[in-house]
Amino acid sequence: MSKAATELLSGTPLTVYSEDENMFRASVREFAEGEIKPRREEMDEHAKMDASIIKHLFDLGLMSIETPEEFGGAGASFFSAIIGVEELSRVDPSVGVLMDVQNTLVNNAIIRWGNPEQRRKYLTQLAENKIGAYCLSEASSGSDAFAMQTKAVERGDHYLLNGQKLWITNGVEAEIFVVFANAKPEDGYRGVTAFIVEKGFEGISVGKKENKLGIRASSTTEIIFDNCRVPKENLLGEFGKGYKVSIETLNEGRIGIGAQMIGLARGALEAALAYTSERQQFGRAINGFQGVQFQLAELATELEAARLLVYNAARLKDAGLPFVKEAAMAKLFSSRAAEHIASKAIELYGGYGFVKDYPVEKFWRDSKIGAIYEGTSNMQLQTIAKLMIDNRQPKVQ
C-alpha cells in the first residue's frame, strides 16, 4: 500500500502538512512508540518521569522548537511544536505536557518578552538541558489570575519575592521559572510583573508534589518564595506589564493543550479500533456489528473536528493573524472530545477497559485535566462569547 493511501486510511488529511512536517511527525512518533510506550505504565504507576525520556526530548530538539537557531533551537514554526505535542500525547499525555509547557509558555514568553541578554542566557539553557516552569496560579487566584498574593518588593539592585504558587507543571524538574508577582499592589493588576527566576536563587523552594488523578508522570507542585532574591536584570518585559505577558502567552498555550487533547483522543481511538478488530463475539470481530461501527464513526468525526480546530488556530498564529477566539474554541472542543472519546473507548473495551492492563483507562484519567488547566472550559466560553459580542459592536468614529 502506498504511503499516501496509508495516511488517508489513518485519517490524516494529506493537504494539511508540508514534507518537513510529515517527516517531523514520523520521527516524533517513532520516538514515542519506541522509547515512551515501554515506560508509560511504570511512569504512571510511580508518578515520575523517566530521566532518559527527558534527555531524549532535549537530544531530539523537542524542547526548543521555536527557539531561534542562534540560541540552540530548531527555529521551526509554532505548528511544528503542536505536531510534537500531539504525537507525544498520543502515547503519553504526561510527556506531551512537559514539552508543551517548555515550548508554548516558557520559551515563548522569553522569545517574545525577553531582552537580548535574557534570550541569549536562558533560551540557550532551555534548549540544551534545562526544564522551565510557568508560575501563575495561586490558592486564591485560579481563573481570576490577577488576584494573586505573591508580592515583589524592590530592594536596590534586586527584588524580594514572597508568596506561594500552586499547580506548577514541571515543578520537580524545572530549573528556570517564569514567575508572576505583584510589584505594586495599589495599582491592582497593573502592578503584576513577570520575572525569570532560577532554581539556584536564594529563597525559592519546591513544596508539596500533588498526587493526581491523571498525567501522573508530569510533576505538579507548589513553588514557594521566601524572600527570594531576584536581580533586577531578571525582570521579564516591562514593569507592571506582567498581565500582558501572561494573557498573551496563555493564548498560545491553549493551542498546545488542544494538541495534547487531540493526541490523547487519537491514542484512545486507535486503541479502541485495534481492540474491536480483535475481540470476537458471536463468531466475529465486534467491529463487524453496525452498532459498534457507528460509535467508531462518531468518535472519528469528533476527533477530526477537534484536530482541525487546533490546526486552524496554530496556522493563524503562525500567519500573524488574530487567533484568540479560535484558540479558545480549540481548547474547549478538544478537551471535551478527548474526555468523550476516551470514555467511549473504555466502554468499547468492556471489562478490560476498566483495568490498568490496557491503556484506555489511563487516557480517560489524563483527559480530565483538559477542561481545567490553562483556562477552564467556562473561561473559554466567556472568551469566545466576549469576542463574538465585541466584534458586533458598532465602531466608534
Residues with catalytic roles: 374
- Residue 270: how many other CB atoms lie within 10 Å: 16
Measure the CA–CA gap between 195 and 200, rounded to whole angstroms.
14
Which is nearest to 142 in space by CA: 215, 239, 234, 250?
250
Cα–Cα distances (Å) from 162 to 138, 165, 204, 213, 388, in that order, read 12, 10, 9, 30, 39
Which is nearest to 75 in space by CA: 121, 20, 30, 17?
20
Under a CB-based contact definition with an 8 Å cutoff, are residues 95 and 217 in contact?
Answer: yes
Which residues have C-beta within 8 Å of that of residue 371, sequence separation ≥ 6?
A: 335, 336, 339, 377
First-last CA distance in the chain: 61
Q: What are phi and psi of 150, to 5 degrees?
A: -65, 130
Measure the CA–CA gap between 192 and 169, rounded to whole angstroms.
21
Under a CB-based contact definition with an 8 Å cutoff, are residues 85 and 96 in contact?
Answer: yes
Q: What are phi and psi of 74, to 5 degrees?
A: -85, -20
With vertex at residue 331, the alpha carbon angle to CA 181 and CA 179, rounded to the nearest 5 degrees, is 15
Under a CB-based contact definition with an 8 Å cutoff, are residues 196 and 122 in contact?
Answer: yes
Which residues have C-beta within 8 Å of that of residue 255, sequence separation ≥ 6?
A: 78, 82, 104, 310, 313, 314, 317, 323, 327, 330, 331
Measure the CA–CA gap between 139 and 147, rounded to whole angstroms.
10
SS3 state at 130: coil
Measure the CA–CA gap between 170 and 164, rounded to whole angstroms.
16
H or E stretch at 45: helix 37-46
H or E stretch at 327: helix 324-349
